[in-house]
């Protein structure tokens, strides 16, 4: 029998009772409202909830009100962001640019060349690398016949200045534009000594050939289109040789002998510079400039190439901007000279630093051909940089015999 009045429950019995009620409801069982004997149940449902005193209202403080307002604003911002995302979905995250094998191989080689340039300059000057006349170095091998030495010394007395073009990869148009400006202003004539490494050596051969720089720019676009469609790495050397053989004249070696110097790196127990200024045939000139441009594993699928029974690679590794046979050499660099740590550079993107591509972009264009619009822009920038140099040095470079630079 149940007592007629509710019994007093302790905290433990109330908790046990509430858990039994909830477990029955969770199982889907309906709790009987009356006892088996038909009597009303002596205990009310959830007595602690019905009989417990109400909780005191929280005291409002300025800090609590500010926190609540911030929470409401955060919820509103979240709702607005979700609505905007449904209306204007976020663009896909930018995929990191995947560099080709050609770019990776060329970057490794150019990075090594830059380290050698900085290291050599630090040893000599204690700071930034200065371009040194290589005549004083024992490591330079001269491909020059003894009977040509006296003739070259005579040219030194009458001709100044000469122009040296740096290694540049596929940045041919920059050198073409600079050369066009120097020819328009009378600095480069048919007798002006020239020197170059890698792409700079090719530019020297083009200038000596008598072709116009605009024609050379069109040929560069044909070469770039071929590389863009069929690839650059491992095949650039063969394509370049075919293009030069078709574009350059048959008497190229006669035009180049004694006037241009091609820089090559000869591999022995340590790399050393090789300067070539005498050629036997047109093919000999083309082989020299391609050897000067031979980045290992980039122009062809082999680590080095042979030139005149010597194992050689790109001349930019040891002679980035070789000296000419003139009394004074003006050096032209297609890259920002300050970024490479070079001094005594005449013409470079540092002459006119506005509206320039980043060094990273220039290195990419040097290894993978850019679009035709970019090639035209590089040609224009090379012309403008050379014009800035010419305005600053117009009165300084006069031949020693009193004739102007444009005179024969």
Q: What DSSP state is assigned to residue 347? A: B
Q: Which two tokens stand for residue 209?
A: 């050939």
Rounded-to-integer distance, Cα 240 and Cα 293, Å: 10
**Number of residues that this document lists for the chain:** 408
* CB environment 289-317: b (16+ within 10 A), e (fewer): bbbbbbbbbbbbeeebbebeebebbbbbb
Q: Which two tokens stand for residue 142?
A: 């001269």
Rounded-to-integer distance, Cα 259 and Cα 325, Å: 8
Q: Which residues are catalytic?
A: 198, 314
Q: Quick check: 335 and 199 in contact, CB under 8 A?
A: no
List the one residue out of 194, 132, 174 whose CA is nearest residue 343.
132
Q: What region, left, alpha or beta, does residue 186 occupy, with left being phi > 0 and alpha being psi -120 to 50 degrees?
A: left
Rounded-to-integer distance, Cα 199 and Cα 315, Å: 10
Q: How many CA atoms lie within 13 A of 386 on its CB side?
A: 30
Rounded-to-integer distance, Cα 385 and Cα 336, Å: 11
């Amino acid at each position: 029998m149940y007592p007629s009045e509710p019994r007093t429950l302790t905290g433990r019995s109330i908790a046990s009772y509430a858990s039994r009620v909830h477990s029955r409801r969770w199982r889907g069982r309906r709790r009987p409202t009356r006892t088996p004997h038909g009597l009303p149940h002596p205990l009310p449902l959830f007595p602690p909830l019905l009989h417990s005193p109400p909780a005191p209202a929280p005291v409002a403080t300025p800090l609590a009100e500010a926190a609540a307002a911030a929470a409401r604003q955060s919820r509103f911002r979240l709702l607005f962001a979700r609505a905007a995302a449904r209306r204007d979905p976020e663009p896909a995250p930018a995929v990191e640019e995947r560099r080709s094998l050609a770019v990776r191989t060329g970057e490794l080689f150019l990075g090594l060349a830059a380290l050698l340039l900085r290291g050599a300059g630090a040893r000599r000057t204690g700071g930034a690398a200065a371009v040194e006349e290589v005549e004083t170095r024992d490591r330079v091998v001269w491909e020059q016949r003894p009977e040509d030495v006296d003739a070259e010394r005579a040219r030194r007395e009458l001709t100044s200045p000469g122009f040296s073009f740096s290694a540049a990869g596929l940045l041919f148009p920059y050198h073409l534009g600079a050369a066009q400006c120097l020819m328009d202003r009378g600095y480069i004539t048919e007798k002006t000594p020239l020197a170059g490494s890698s792409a700079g050596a090719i530019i020297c051969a083009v200038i000596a050939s008598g072709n116009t720089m605009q024609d050379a720019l069109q040929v560069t676009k044909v070469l770039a289109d071929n590389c863009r469609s069929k690839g650059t790495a491992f095949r650039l050397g063969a394509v370049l040789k075919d293009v030069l053989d078709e574009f350059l004249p048959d008497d190229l070696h006669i035009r180049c002998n004694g006037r241009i110097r091609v820089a090559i790196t000869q591999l022995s127990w340590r790399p050393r510079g090789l300067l070539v200024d005498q050629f036997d045939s047109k093919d000999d000139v083309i082989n020299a400039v391609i050897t000067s441009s031979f980045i290992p594993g980039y122009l062809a699928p082999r680590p080095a190439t042979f030139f005149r029974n010597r194992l050689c690679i790109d001349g930019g590794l040891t002679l980035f901007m070789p000296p000419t046979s003139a009394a004074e050499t003006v050096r032209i660099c297609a890259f920002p000279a300050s970024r490479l740590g070079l001094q005594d550079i005449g013409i470079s993107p540092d002459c006119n630093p506005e509206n320039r591509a980043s060094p990273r972009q220039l290195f990419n264009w040097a290894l993978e051909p850019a679009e035709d619009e970019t090639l035209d822009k590089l040609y224009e920038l090379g012309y403008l940089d050379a014009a800035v140099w010419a305005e600053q040095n117009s009165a300084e470079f006069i031949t020693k015999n009193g004739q102007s630079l444009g005179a024969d």
